[in-house]
Structure 1
Amino acid sequence: MLKLLFTGVWVCAVTLGSVYFSMQYASAPVLSDAEAERRASEEYVPGEIVTVPVIKDGAVQGYFLAKLSFSAKREGIAKLHAPLRQLVTDELYDLLVGSKFIDVADTGSFDLPHFKLLVKDGLNGKLGREVITEVLVEQLEYLSKLDVERASSGQAIAYDKPAPVVDRNGNVAADKLPEAAVKASGSVH
């Protein structure tokens, strides 16, 4: 009986010790004063889904769906003449409608870092000062007119093989692709 009591005390001591040490090592990373000040002066602005028609040769070819969120300066947001979400929607339409930025025939060449930089610079240019500090992509999709027709009639959308996101040099990061995408596309070059 005494042996069982000592075993229980020992298990409790080991459990409490492990919890204590794990809490000590799991503390938040220490930020520099400049980084902490920068984060305190910024605000996260959640986005909403924006549907932008992709127009080519005078006709709608499909729809680009984007949900973008932003990190923005608090003082800059306070000085805006309109709500930030509406300004973002307007800028996305200006940027994407009728532009050659999204090539419907070649979705594999989409450059995500360049897209984020383009949106950030476009918004800051429209606002006349640097308000947006970072663009955060929550969702990006392209649906062709055929996909929309199928979905509206209750049919399943037939997706082509996944289009990998490439960097500015045209390199595909195969290690960042989901395993299913690598298998579906064969060998990634």
Structure 2
Amino acid sequence: MIKTVVIGLWVCIIALGSLMLAIKMGAEPKSAAATEESSSSIDFDRTDVMSVPILADGKVDGYIIAQLVYTVDSNVKNKLHVPLGLIVNDAVFNVFYGSYTDTKRIEHVKFEDVKQKIIDGVNQRFPEPVIKDLMVEQFNFIPADQVRDMNKVK
């Protein structure tokens, strides 16, 4: 009988000790990096594949085909009442439409400049910055002649 009571007490002490250790380890303060990561979560999204006409001398000279990926602060994004994708598409269109009337200049596009214009164009519409970074998934220029040739019936 005494052995049974001692074994029961031993099991209770071990269980209580392990419970106390688990509580103590779970209550340790998190590092600063982990706290910052949990308070500001970054999410990403991509634009639709867009075709922006390039006009020269009153006619379409070609199309820029672009698809971009952008990173956003998800806490700020959740506060928005307007779909962010629409605003980003509009900013991309505004940067390219009418900016490159000489199609030879498109070959020398500095994406860092374009990227900053798009980010600024989107972020100025909101009280706090939403877009953190912008990356290229697809960026092509197709001359209008090639598009017309693709549409010809053979």
- Pair 1:40–1:59, CA change in 2 (3 A): same
The aligned residue for residue 95 of structure 2 is 95
Query: Could you report, residue by residue, the CA deviation over 1:62-95 in whole angstroms, capped at 9, with x for unpaired residues?
Result: 1111101110011221122321111111112222
2:47–2:85 Cα contact (<8 Å) kept: yes
| Gap change, CA 1:145 and 1:73, over 3 Å in 2 | same
**Unaligned segments of structure 2, at least 5 residues:** 1-31
* Partners of 2:71 and 2:134 within 8 A in 1: yes
Measured in 2, the distance between the counterparts of 1:34 and 1:114 equals 33
CA contact (8 A) 2:40 2:73 kept: no
1:37 paired with 2:37, answer yes
> Which structure's CA Rg is the greater one?
2
1:66 aligns with 2:46: no
Determine helix, strand or coil for the equivalent of 1:81.
Answer: coil
Instruction: Flag structure 1 segments of 5+ consecutive residues without an equivalent.
Output: 1-31, 156-189
Seq. identity, %: 26
Aligned residue identity for 1:57: D
Match of 1:80 in 2: 80
Higher RCO (Cα < 8 Å, 6 or more apart):
2
- Taking a change above 3 Å as real, the CA distance of residues 80 and 154 of structure 1, as seen in their structure-2 partners, is farther
Name the one with the larger strand percent. Answer: 2
Residue deviations 1:107-140, cap 9 Å, x none? 3321112111121111112334310000011000
Q: TM-score, normalised by structure 1?
A: 0.57
Quote the offset at 1:45 in angstroms.
1.2
Q: TM-score, normalised by structure 2?
A: 0.68
Pair 1:152 & 2:151 matched: yes
Corresponding residue for 1:169? none
Q: In 2, Cα distance between the equivalents of 1:122 and 1:44?
A: 18
Deviations 1:40-68 (A, max 9, x none): 51111122201111122222211111101
Runs of 4+ in structure 1 deviating by more than 4 angstroms, as ranges, are none
